[in-house]
Chains A and B, each alone.
Chain A
């Protein structure tokens, strides 16, 4: 029995937005925390921390996100954890976001003039105070535009969670497409939903970039 593409199907796809947004926020929050640690490790005095964080970043930037999700999804059960798609997708995307945000913020930290760190040293500030009160606020401002740009990439990346059985916007579209045989409408609608979120964010990122460029 082939179903029509009616209001119900429309709503079924659009309701997938909720899981997409939640997963994106989860990964962005988790990745933000991880990314901060990675960025600090990347710019630390310790050679071990520096190379370990560099390897972490290289791995996540040099392999497909789809493979990263597969590794988490099939790897966690091997380590003895029972996983549901939320956990697998959440962990996979968090690690992915951590690596990318870490690299973006490393750039930000290194772009803060050396004099700032030296001045903080001269004032007798310790590492924590130096980072929290002097370097990081400036670094985060410098990297605001690419951070928002990466958020767009992350939201698009959550669509791959559909492949490991996570029901969100893309998976809803796949389900509706196969029950109605109307792939143009189903994928077109899901695409528009993504566009509705990502396009304003992209514009925001571009505006941030221009504002920053105008100041320097």
Chain B
């Protein structure tokens, strides 16, 4: 073994790496918020009385969940211009990540809402509440509490998935690492550091989710 490790050559680029981390975090955060919204709407569409809307929701969920994210992001970024819609890497990355997490979130939220006893919905209806009010004031919070661990796990996964958008040169940590790789040729070192940074961010992310959980769902179990 003759390889000489040289982390110094790579660590010189720490401002770029820090910037890459910030981009990855903000990209993920934006996609989490958009994904939650899409997931909630898709869940509602899936429960609609109108059949085409239900089919649309199921089709979207299954299509996203059964194809690789790499294909989704390449399809969006390179495919939209073919339809005459110009798009730059960052928005394409955000849209792809949001649509991806939206489908997974929809499934998780649906599971949570279906776990709420029927009597709760019926009681809400008996009180004269609109179905959306039933959802908002009665069902959503206990449902969210049950699915919170699954949902936050999904969003930590989204942070890791975001590395794939480097394939369309959207700027984030992996893309930054690749740029440093091509200027320093210290591939192994740079990817060790980038991997460690991802691990750190994933840890940070799940701790943040736990902090939110403690605040939002601190009331006793029954």
Contacts and interface: CB of A to CB of B under 8 A. Distances in A.
A194 B68 CA distance: 7
Given A63-B195, A63-B199, A67-B163, A188 B66 contact: no
Contacts of A195: 63, 66-67
Nearest to B164: A66
A89 to B, nearest CB: 14
B66 A152 contact: yes
B3 interface: yes
A17 B192 CA distance: 31
Contacts, number: 117
Contact of A174 (B3, B74, B198, B203): B74
A187 B66 contact: no
B191 A202 contact: no
Given A62-B203, A74-B188, A163-B167, A198 B67 contact: yes
Contacts of A162: 70
Interface string A51-75: 0000000010011111110110011
Given A66-B174, A195-B63, A202-B62, A170 B68 contact: yes
A177 interface: yes
B82 A71 contact: no
B163 to A, nearest CB: 4
Interface residues of A, number: 39
Contacts of A68: 195
Interface size class of chain B, counting residues whose CB lies under 8 Å from the partner chain:
35 or more
Interface in B100-131: none
Interface in B180-215: 187-188, 191-192, 194-195, 198-199, 202-203
B164 A160 contact: yes
B72 interface: yes
A159 interface: yes
A2 interface: no
A199 B63 CA distance: 8
Contact of B79 (A75, A184, A199, A202): A184
B162 to A, nearest CB: 8
A198 B72 CA distance: 15
B32 to A, nearest CB: 16
Contacts of A191: 63, 67-68, 71-72, 75
Contacts of A163: 70, 167
A150 to B, nearest CB: 13
A187 B74 contact: yes
A106 to B, nearest CB: 16
A191 B160 CA distance: 21
A147 B72 CA distance: 24
Contact of B62 (A66, A70, A182, A199): A199
Nearest to A76: B188
B154 interface: no
A183 B160 contact: no
Contacts of B78: 177, 183-184, 187
Contacts of A1: none
B161 interface: yes
Contact of A194 (B67, B156, B187, B192): B67
A177 to B, nearest CB: 6
Interface of B: 1-3, 62-63, 65-72, 74-75, 78-79, 82-83, 156, 160-164, 166-167, 174, 187-188, 191-192, 194-195, 198-199, 202-203
Given A67-B195, A188-B79, A195-B63, 8 more contacts: A62-B203, A71-B188, A156-B68, A157-B68, A181-B82, A191-B68, A199-B66, A202-B66
